[in-house]
Structure 1
Amino acid sequence: MSVPLRSETEAGVRSIILCRPEHYNTITLELRDALGTAIDEADADPEVRVILLRAEGPAFCAGYGLDWSTELQATESTMDRVWDSELDMQVMSTFVNTYLKLWYAAKPTIAAVHGWCIAGGTDMVLCSDIIVAGESAVFGYPPARVWGTPTTAMWVYRLGFEKAKRYLLTGDEIPARTAADIGLVAECVPDENLLDHATGLARRMAMLPGNQLRMLKLLCNQTAENMGLSSSRVLGTFLDGVARHTQEGRDFVARATAVGFRQAVRERDDPFDDYGSRRR
């Protein structure tokens, strides 16, 4: 089994690098567990002041490894028990709690994003304190069209009500420049400058005393907590399970089982002419 990520440290910055490029760094159980461990270790290391999350290959993260997750849901139809919403919450919360380590880490977290960062990939990356995007980056939550809701519920806190509804109620893709203009990400830079720019920003932060960084992050994040972030993500995680088990969600899984997940996704997205269905 390939290692899903690796870490390296320089000048007070711990880089956590997703390294499943051949699979577009899609989320698996192994990646979830490795990411959680890597964030915990970085947050506990006194030599680390800033955590930088980045990825190898053509995409930052193209969401969950949905071949295995649709297959898992398809097996439910052969079980004697009906869908267990509480058990679903338990399982999904193991992923959500991992992503939230980026938010709740005492140290600042930066994500350097290129290529696809969609669906579950946004659940992860929007928990970072700051996102720097390369011009090739594309964000979005296409499962809004069927079979999902954002589990970490960060969209409103990043964008405000109007913009969050604009993109969640369509599932439309968001190119990097647009993402920067609407405030989903902090900055957009040429792809060839992304690594240097994000690393430079992380090192600039690392020049501050560690206690200052921790206090300032806590001060900023507490505003979202006071606005109800905790209850929002509980609802988001619960509704994600509900969305996967509506009639439309079950039909999507049945179609994915019959023709393959990629074809089912094409059929979902073709009418919108975006993501992998864009006509060139």
Structure 2
Amino acid sequence: MESVGSGLAAIDWHDDRADVYLSRPDKRNAMTVPLMDDLITAFERVDADEDIRAATLLGEGPVFCAGMDLEMMRDRVEPDAGIDRNKFPEVLETIEETRQPVVVGIKRAAPAGAFELTLPCDFRIIGRNAKYGLLEVQLGTFPHAGGTQRLPRLVGLSKAKEIVLTGEFVDPEEAADIGLAHEVVDTDDVDERAKAFADKLCENAPLGLRNAKKALNAALETPLEQGLAYERQLAYEIDDTHDYREGFEARLEGREPEFRGE
């Protein structure tokens, strides 16, 4: 495991998968500005690595993430706090714009800011007993790092209003039923299942994965005609590549393809 920046995030590199860890287990991985800086650096490094086809986001220790550090949140309104309010949105945008698909493992807890941290990820694997919800209305504010914008795109406006305005935890099984979580597993299996899911993605062509993610991310924000044109443009970019030819040749020859990302 390789520490990043101030050591509050880490990357475990594999052949074609990168595991990004929140690495503050003594504080249940509660997020501070240095931790957020480290997450940005970690995902920028993953994005730049041509050998990586998929990534995970995990919490070191028994808990995924307790959300924002409460002392930091209390003190940030002070004039001399020096806390950048745009830092957390930058973290989420960096994850969202990472070229590779990202699988997050949600074990035991992901409230408030930690919930929002999972939303830009492409797949969410959640533990059966996870405390997963947007609690901000119970803390005198409301989720404002994308929670009111990304969540309706995942579960619909009515269900998003219920989750945000009640401030209650979402049952993991319900999270799966409404399309918020992709799989519910035993708590002790969350991290390994997230890695296995990412490994399954890694079997596919990296150029196809990356351009498909771009097209899918644009789908809900783009008029249909414009989206279809963008989809075709991204597909045409891949046509004259080794991986395109290799994929079809391997299927015709009845063998596993050897993709190279080129």
Structure 2 length normalisation: TM-score? 0.77
Residue in 1 aligned with 2:195? 199
Bigger relative contact order, structure 1 or 2, given CA contacts below 8 A and separation 6+? 1
Specify the alignment match of 2:217 in structure 1.
221
Pairing partner for 2:108 from 115, 128, 132: 115
Is 1:164 the counterpart of 2:168 in the alignment? Answer: no
Residue 267 of structure 1 corresponds to none
Q: Which runs of no fewer than 5 residues in structure 2 stay unpaired? A: 224-262
Q: Is the 8 A contact 2:108 2:187 kept in 1?
A: no
| Superposition RMSD in Å | 2.0
Structure-2 residue corresponding to 1:183: 179
Moved over 3 A (4+): none
**Consecutive unaligned residues in structure 1, runs of 5 or more:** 80-86, 228-280
Counterpart in the other structure of 1:208:
204
* Greater percentage in helix: 1
Q: Is 1:57 matched with 2:76?
A: no
The 10-residue stretch of structure 1 (132-141 or 105-114) with the greater mean CA deviation from structure 2: 132-141
Deviations 1:102-156 (A, max 9, x none): 1111111110110110111122111101111111322111112322323213110
- Cα deviation 1:176-201 (Å, max 9, x = unaligned): 22211222111111123222221111
Match in the other structure for 2:142 = 148
Report the Cα offset of residue 2 of structure 1.
7.1
* Secondary structure in 1 matching 2:166: coil
Report if aligned partners of 2:142, 2:164 keep a CA contact under 8 Å in 1. Answer: no
- State the Cα distance separating 1:220 from its structure 2 match: 1.1
Opposite residue 208 of structure 2, the aligned amino acid is Q
Change (3 A) 1:194 1:154: same
Q: CA deviation at 1:168?
A: 0.9
Contact 1:120-1:150 at 8 Å conserved across structures: no
Query: Is the Cα contact below 8 Å between 1:135 and 1:191 reproduced in 2?
Result: yes
Q: Which amino acid aligns with 1:106?
A: R
Q: CA deviation at 1:9?
A: 1.5
Q: Secondary structure at the match of 1:225?
A: coil
CA contact (8 A) 1:11 1:203 kept: no
**Could you tell me which residue of structure 2 aligns to residue 21 of structure 1?**
25
Contact 1:133–1:185 (8 Å) recurs in 2: yes
How far apart, in 2, do the equivalents of 1:200 and 1:216 lie? 20
> Is the 1:4–1:31 Cα contact (8 Å) retained in structure 2?
yes
Distance in 1, matches of 2:75 and 2:92, equals 23
Q: Does 1:70 align with 2:74?
A: yes
| Counterpart-to-counterpart distance in 2, 1:8 and 1:67 | 29
Give the Cα separation in 1 of the matches to 2:14 and 2:116.
27
SS in structure 2 opposite 1:57?
A: coil
Q: Distance in 1 between matches of 2:144 and 2:124?
A: 18
Task: Specify the code of the residue in structure 1 equivalent to 2:93.
Answer: L
Indicate the percent of aligned positions where both proteins have the same amino acid.
26
Q: How far apart in 2 are the matches of 1:193 and 1:61?
A: 16
Look up the equivalent residue of 2:120 and give its one-letter code: C
Give the superposition deviation at 1:213: 0.4
Shift of 1:30: 0.6
Normalised TM-score (structure 1): 0.72
Change (3 A) 1:72 1:150: closer
1:3 aligned to which of 1, 7, 27: 7
* 1:39 positional shift: 0.2
Query: SS in structure 1 opposite 2:120?
Result: coil
Q: Partners of 1:124 and 1:192 in 2: how far apart? A: 21
**What residue identity is the alignment partner of 1:120?**
G
State the match for 1:106 in structure 2. Answer: 99
Aligned length: 215
Using the alignment, how far apart are the partners of 1:121 and 1:206 within structure 2?
Answer: 26
